[in-house]
Amino acid sequence: MTINRPGDGGCQCGNIRYRLTAKPQMLYVCHCSDCQKQSGSAFGMSLIMQSRHVEFIEGAESMRSWDTRGEEGDMQRCHFCPNCGTRFMHGSNIPWQSLSIKAGPLDDTRNLQPTAHIWLQSAQSWLAIDRERYLCFESEPEDKAVLAKQQAHESDHG
C-alpha cells in the first residue's frame, strides 16, 4: 500500500514546500535513463496525482522548469528548485490534469510501496526485482490504467 493520507514535502534547501491533499493514484519505480540521471541514482520513484490534489505551500513562484523529451519521444516539462536543484514533478499534458510527483522530496517516505517497475530494459544489472510481487514492464506500459487498477486493489487489500 502507498500513502493513505496526505503528505508534505519540500526541497533540500527548504525554499519550496508542498502538500499532497489526497491519496496518489499510483506509485511506480522507473528505471529509464532520464530518471537515473535526474535522481542521481539507479531509478526514480513517481507518485501520480491529480493536479488539484497538489498544493504548493511555499516558494511555488520561484520554481523553475525545463522541457525535455522522454524515451518514448513525448515532451516532459520538469519542475525543480532553482536554489538546490531538487526535482519535484513533471508532466506531458499541458494544461496538466495529472502530475508525476517525485517521491523522494516527501518528508516521510517510510510507507511508500510501489505497484510496478517500468523501463526495466534500462535497469542496473545488479538490481534484483521481485517480478512475482510487482507488475514489471520492459519499457513504458501501453496502458497505465492497469497500474492504477493494481494500486487501488493493493490499497483495498493492504
- Tell whether pTM > 0.85: no
Report CA Rg, the chain. 15
The CATH number assigned to the domain holding 68 equals: 3.90.1590.10
Host domain of residue 151? 7-157
Express each pLDDT in 119-151 by its tens digit: 999 999 999 999 999 999 998 887 766 666 666
- d(CA 53, CA 140) in angstroms, rounded, equals 25
Q: C-alpha distances in angstroms, 68 versus 26, 72, 81, 98, 134?
A: 23, 11, 17, 18, 28
Flag whether 29 is in a domain: yes
What mean pLDDT is predicted for residues 19-44? 89
Domain count, the chain: 1
Pairing of strands 26-30, 135-136: unpaired
Flag whether 2 is in a domain: no
Q: Other CB atoms closer than 10 Å to residue 117's CB: what's the count?
A: 22
